[in-house]
């Protein structure tokens, strides 16, 4: 069984792929920015915040066609996206913020 650190690392890798996928799409990126309230020039700073990567995965998971296109383009099984979300801080109600 994989340990928590390796599961989180794998989850972060999927989330970073998802961020690249969203950032490269001229329709998804403006929608993501509008929903999150993040300005395009602040993405790098926001990416360091707890919960940001979970938010990227939540955005992808919220729209099935987007999820399926992400899965196809990156070779990531759709179920792995939900699993990755749960492994990230603030990805569900069971995670607590680290201080």
The answer to whether residue 97 sits within a structural domain is no
Residue 57: domain span: 4-87
Cβ atoms within 10 Å of 70's Cβ, excluding its own: 24
Question: Would you call 18 helix, strand, or coil by DSSP?
Answer: helix
The answer to whether residue 43 sits within a structural domain is yes
The answer to whether residue 99 sits within a structural domain is no
Backbone angle region of 38, left / alpha / beta, with phi > 0 → left and psi within -120 to 50 → alpha:
beta
The answer to whether residue 49 sits within a structural domain is yes
Note the pLDDT of residue 73. Answer: 97
Least Cα distance to 70 among 33, 9, 27, 18 occurs for 18
The answer to whether residue 68 sits within a structural domain is yes
Indicate the burial class of 61 (C-beta count within 10 angstroms; 0-12, 13-18, 19 or more): middle
How distant, in Å, are the alpha carbons of 23, 31, 37, 46, 55 from that of 41? 12, 15, 12, 10, 17
Structural domains in the chain (count): 1
The answer to whether residue 94 sits within a structural domain is no
The answer to whether residue 93 sits within a structural domain is no
- The pLDDT tens digits of the residues spanning 54-95 come to 999 999 999 999 999 999 999 999 999 999 999 998 887 454
- The pLDDT tens digits of the residues spanning 8-52 come to 999 999 999 999 999 999 999 999 999 999 998 998 899 888 899
């Amino acid at each position: 069984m994989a340990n928590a650190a390796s599961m989180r690392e794998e989850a972060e890798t999927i989330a970073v792929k998802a961020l690249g996928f969203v950032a490269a799409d001229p329709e998804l990126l403006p929608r993501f920015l509008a929903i999150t309230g993040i300005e395009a020039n602040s993405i790098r700073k926001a990416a360091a915040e707890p919960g940001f990567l979970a938010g990227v995965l939540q955005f992808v998971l919220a729209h099935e066609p987007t999820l399926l296109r992400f899965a196809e383009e990156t070779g990531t099984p759709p179920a792995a996206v939900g699993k990755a979300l749960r492994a990230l801080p603030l990805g569900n109600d069971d995670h607590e913020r680290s201080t």
